Structure 1
Amino acid sequence: MKQFLSLVAVCIFSLSAWAQETVAVNTGDLISSEVKNQTVTFRLLAPEAREVWVETDFFEKSRQQTPLGEVEMAGRQRMEKGENGVWSYTVALPAPELHTYCFYVDGVRMLDPSNVYMLRDIATYMNYFLVDGALSENYFVREVPHGTVAKVWYPSPSLGMERRRMMVYTPAGYEEGTKRYPVLYLLHGAGGDENAWSELGRAVQILDNLIAQGKAEPMIVVMPNGNGAQQAVPGEYPNSMYKPSFMNPKTMEGSYEKAFPDIMNFVESHYRTINDKAHRAIAGLSMGGFHSLYISANYPDKFDYVGLFSAAINRESKGENTYIYKNLEEKLATQFAAAPKLYFIAIGNADFLYQDNVEFRQLLDRHGYKYEYAETDGGHEWRNWRKYLNNWLPKLFK
């Protein structure tokens, strides 16, 4: 029993506001977590453990060299062992956001078994909780009309697949009406999939809330799978029970960009869309920003709104689809000659792609191309991408 208890974590959050109150969960005699007087206390029952750490996205981060360059890593704090083998750590209540955490018990990473709220980022699961406030108010499910999110299969002859999957958001009232809507194509980053924006990005909650507030136009939002060799999320199509990976085949070598009209053709033939440039937008984070850049440049008559969130910019590729990435300046000249209504670039000042984005903006500046730029604190992380989406959606289709 003692060995079993050493691996039992009991820590659950119930945060709904910046309230000066105690929110506690009792497991036997143990208060497993507590929010009191603007603090959060993590507690973990592990009587036989020698060392226990808690890792969160809001602790001070460290920096680590990776094949992608120097990136920020989540911070950890050592928990203190108290009576009856209960480890604890207290910290000031973090800023309004969706916050993630996990534990390390004697070097073994573990989730909180008492918290059913989990997110998968590529191949890593994390528990999460929400702190309400001005910056995160649209990340919560509110008492507003809700849109519908469907898992939709479509044919992609350009990729040689009879079935690929994407997530499609239709605004509240779509099923009962006859109105036609503008479309946003919202693209994920490397290692992600068609679930990423709706789960990690809180895109559905953001859309529901902004539309209900009258701040964003009702729109259809298409969230495709940007891995050209996949039909869908790993595990959700035949022979796909493998571990998700950061870089997948047919992602940044032109196949996906070349095949993008397959997605648009399906959407515009199966949904009540307004099929002109003024009512189409495309945006993405990281690799999705890369895709958005080159898709919009190669199809300059398709999108009046382009959003590059922490976008990968530079790419050298070999193979039959290299034309996608060649002559970018010439393609941009054609694209900007058509005067897109909004070309938006956003990135964190600690992002490993920051300098690439500086150089890309310098290219746009040399030619006098009009764009909007937003720079935030932080690095290559979802708290920035949620913020960019929340701030960008009200600018569309005006």
Structure 2
Amino acid sequence: MNRTWKNRGIVFTLALLFVTVEGFAQGNNNPPPKSPEVHGDQRVTFRIQAPNADSVKLSSSDIPGSMFSRHMAKNKEGVWELTSDVLAPGAYRYRFEVNGISVIDPRNTSFSESNENIWSLVTVPGNPMMDTRDVPHGAVAEVTYHSESLDRFRRMHVYTPPGYESGEGQYPVFYLLHGAYDSDDAWSTVGRAGFILDNLIAEGKAKPMIVVMPDGHTGPFGYGDELPMDEFIQDFKNDIKPYVESHYRVKANRENRAMAGLSMGGAHTLGIAIPNLDEYAYIGVFSSGVFGLVNNDGSVVEASETAYVKQNSEVLSNDDLKEGLELFWFATGKEDFLLDITRATVTMFEDYDFDVVYEETEGAHTWLVWRDYLIEFTPKLFK
């Protein structure tokens, strides 16, 4: 059993012990509460049975207003409850803080991993591109591979389109990278990537493709840490990409290869695809950019002085390589704290005569925008 499943089991067991044993100790014979309960008006009610708790809060990185926790109310049966405001369709991660202890929802078997953490997961229907629909479905597999670069076993998630298992043809490949506080599980759970691809393919809006979602972290990462760039880039080039091309029926050429990522994954994308521009025809950067371009005070650094430009000067000045770049797509929310970095990055690439497509949308640094970016970006691939 790997550490992920051990941690998952420990957290779940602690949650069950905490909320149910206290209930039994008080002789509570009421049926367990339903949680989460998704209402027809797109509100969600969260409940947890903890009769002896003094304080219970709902915490979420995705639900508006819950970033720093919201207090829940206790009824006479010892069940704590909170109903959200109307939520946009999509997936939301959450957990409870019971007397200051973070626990997942013991009444909910849906979950999503982030960076060395786990969340309960609830999905609010209403967007035909994200919903689970009666269309042909592909498969998302957890794939274990050995990284020679890191000398250990690693995991990635791989989406294969409907019909892949029973067919013989080759497919284009799309490498989809996650952010700093996520894991390789995130795009296929809270990101709804598999269902988004199913729906886009079913409607003829996207070509069938293989989507590879690797683990961008090569070790522990926390607030204030530097992004783990170099080790992951080596793992990707030396292990992930060769593994995919030797184990899956992919079209291993530039015109059939794409890469995109959000936040840290966007920085990884620029650190992999631009230095190897002859290998990628489609590049997407969601809520990200070249981090060295903007100082902490918001001032923009001269591009030629950045380590990124110095390392990639030959590629940036190579007009022949730019000819084969079919799409260079950026998108960031107007309330995103990385907006200035995105703008500076787009300007830098335009100054080097790249044909950049840039969109500023409503929203902040959240899955509420990244799922929409995936829905918009994917149909542009492999045309």
Measured at CA, do residues 82 and 247 of structure 1 come closer, stay the same or move farther in structure 2, by a change above 3 Å? closer
Give the aligned partner of residue 78 of structure 1: 71
Measured at CA, do residues 175 and 78 of structure 1 come closer, stay the same or move farther in structure 2, by a change above 3 Å? closer
Counterpart among 209, 217, 220 of residue 199 in structure 2 = 209
Which deviations, in whole Å up to 9, do the C-alpha atoms of 1:119-151 show, x marking residues without a partner?
2211332222111113xx333332222223334
SS of 1:268's equivalent in the other structure is helix
Report the Cα distance in structure 2 between the residues aligned to 1:286 and 1:311, rounded to whole angstroms.
Answer: 5
- Pairing 1:285–2:290 present: no
User: 1:138 is matched by which residue type in structure 2?
Assistant: M
User: 2:136 is matched by which residue type in structure 1?
Assistant: P
Moved more, 145-154 or 33-42: 33-42
Give the aligned partner of residue 369 of structure 2: 384
Which deviations, in whole Å up to 9, do the C-alpha atoms of 1:289-322 show, x marking residues without a partner?
1111121111111111001112252259xxxxx9
Report the Cα distance in structure 1 between the residues aligned to 2:119 and 2:198, rounded to whole angstroms.
Answer: 25
User: 1:331 is matched by which residue type in structure 2?
Assistant: V
Give the aligned partner of residue 96 of structure 1: 89
> Identity rate of aligned residues, in percent?
39
Report the Cα distance in structure 1 between the residues aligned to 2:34 and 2:144, rounded to whole angstroms.
Answer: 46
Give the aligned partner of residue 339 of structure 2: 354
Give the alignment of 1:169-208 within 5 angstroms. Answer: 169-208=159-198
- Pairing 1:48–2:52 present: yes
Measured at CA, do residues 162 and 179 of structure 1 come closer, stay the same or move farther in structure 2, by a change above 3 Å? same
User: 2:230 is matched by which residue type in structure 1?
Assistant: G
Offset at 1:355?
A: 1.4
Give the count of matched residue pairs.
346
- Pairing 1:341–2:326 present: yes
Counterpart among 97, 102, 106 of residue 113 in structure 1 = 106
User: 2:378 is matched by which residue type in structure 1?
Assistant: L
Counterpart among 25, 28, 45 of residue 31 in structure 2 = 28
Measured at CA, do residues 327 and 94 of structure 1 come closer, stay the same or move farther in structure 2, by a change above 3 Å? same
Report the Cα distance in structure 2 between the residues aligned to 1:186 and 1:80, rounded to whole angstroms.
Answer: 40
Counterpart among 300, 309, 318 of residue 277 in structure 2 = 300
Counterpart among 257, 260, 269 of residue 236 in structure 2 = 260
User: 1:224 is matched by which residue type in structure 2?
Assistant: P
Give the aligned partner of residue 22 of structure 1: none
Measured at CA, do residues 79 and 358 of structure 1 come closer, stay the same or move farther in structure 2, by a change above 3 Å? same
Counterpart among 123, 128, 144 of residue 130 in structure 1 = 123
Offset at 1:179?
A: 1.5
Measured at CA, do residues 82 and 251 of structure 1 come closer, stay the same or move farther in structure 2, by a change above 3 Å? closer
Q: Would you tell me which structure has more helix in proportion to its own residues?
A: 2
Measured at CA, do residues 121 and 257 of structure 1 come closer, stay the same or move farther in structure 2, by a change above 3 Å? closer
Offset at 1:29?
A: 8.5
User: 1:54 is matched by which residue type in structure 2?
Assistant: L
SS of 1:199's equivalent in the other structure is coil
Give the aligned partner of residue 251 of structure 2: 274
Measured at CA, do residues 93 and 326 of structure 1 come closer, stay the same or move farther in structure 2, by a change above 3 Å? same
Measured at CA, do residues 247 and 258 of structure 1 come closer, stay the same or move farther in structure 2, by a change above 3 Å? farther
Moved more, 339-348 or 327-336: 327-336
TM-score (norm 1): 0.75
Whether the aligned pair in 2 keeps the contact of 1:284 and 1:309 (CA below 8 Å) is: yes
User: 2:270 is matched by which residue type in structure 1?
Assistant: L
CA RMSD of aligned residues (A): 3.4
- Pairing 1:145–2:136 present: yes
Whether the aligned pair in 1 keeps the contact of 2:290 and 2:308 (CA below 8 Å) is: no
Offset at 1:281?
A: 0.3
Whether the aligned pair in 2 keeps the contact of 1:98 and 1:129 (CA below 8 Å) is: yes
Offset at 1:329?
A: 4.6
Give the aligned partner of residue 64 of structure 2: 59
Report the Cα distance in structure 2 between the residues aligned to 1:79 and 1:249, rounded to whole angstroms.
Answer: 33
Q: Which segments of 5 or more consecutive residues in structure 1 lack a partner in the other structure?
A: 10-25, 62-73, 231-243, 317-321
TM-score (norm 2): 0.77
Which deviations, in whole Å up to 9, do the C-alpha atoms of 1:312-371 show, x marking residues without a partner?
52259xxxxx98773435422327633411101112223232211111112123344211
Report the Cα distance in structure 1 between the residues aligned to 2:124 and 2:112, rounded to whole angstroms.
Answer: 16
User: 2:265 is matched by which residue type in structure 1?
Assistant: G
Report the Cα distance in structure 2 between the residues aligned to 1:257 and 1:4, rounded to whole angstroms.
Answer: 43
